[in-house]
């Protein structure tokens, strides 16, 4: 999870802030979008379409999601649904290299435990 310091640094970077209402899908399994997201406010549920959507995990602010497709260039492997009013930062291939190294390292550590 990203701490307050890292979230503040991310908020100052040239990234895209996005807002979602409860019940809105941010990502859908099988989707072709790339980019990862840092959850700044609210919560999201991660689910997979097995025999219908099955909730796998709930993420809180500071969590990172969407990284698998960014790294693998493959379609999205899960659904991500806004549980609350939420704010995320979208990070794509082009702007991930502009982030401070300590933030990139923290994101990489998050990828290893996710």
Could you read off the pLDDT of 1-14 as tens digits, one per residue? Answer: 666 666 666 655 66
Could you read off the pLDDT of 46-64 as tens digits, one per residue? 998 877 667 888 999 888 8
DSSP state of 73: -
Q: What would the two tokens of residue 111 be?
A: 């990828």
Which domain covers residue 80, as residue numbers?
4-113
* Residue 13: count of CB within 10 angstroms of its CB: 13
Pairwise CA distance, residues 98 & 113, whole Å: 24
Q: How many domains does the chain have?
A: 1
Burial class (CB in 10 A: 0-12, 13-18, 19+), 81: buried
Of residues 22 and 2, which shows the higher confidence score?
22
The CATH number of the domain holding residue 25 is 2.60.120.10
Q: What is the pLDDT of residue 112?
A: 43
Higher pLDDT, 71 or 79: 79
| Cβ–Cβ under 8 Å, residues 13 and 107 | no
Query: Poorest-confidence range of 17-31, 35-49, 69-83, 93-107?
Result: 93-107
**Position with higher pLDDT, 22 vs 107:** 22
């Amino acid at each position: 999870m990203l701490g307050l310091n890292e979230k503040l640094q991310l908020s100052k970077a040239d990234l895209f802030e996005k807002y979602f209402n409860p019940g809105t899908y941010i990502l859908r399994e099988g989707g072709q979008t790339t980019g990862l997201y840092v959850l700044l406010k609210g919560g999201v549920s991660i689910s997979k379409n097995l025999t219908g959507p099955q909730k796998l995990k709930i993420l809180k602010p500071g969590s990172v999601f969407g990284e698998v497709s960014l790294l693998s260039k493959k379609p999205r492997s899960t659904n991500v649904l806004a549980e609350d009013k939420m704010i995320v930062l979208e990070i794509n291939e082009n702007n991930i290299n502009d982030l401070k190294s300590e933030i990139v390292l923290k994101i990489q550590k998050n990828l290893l435990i996710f």
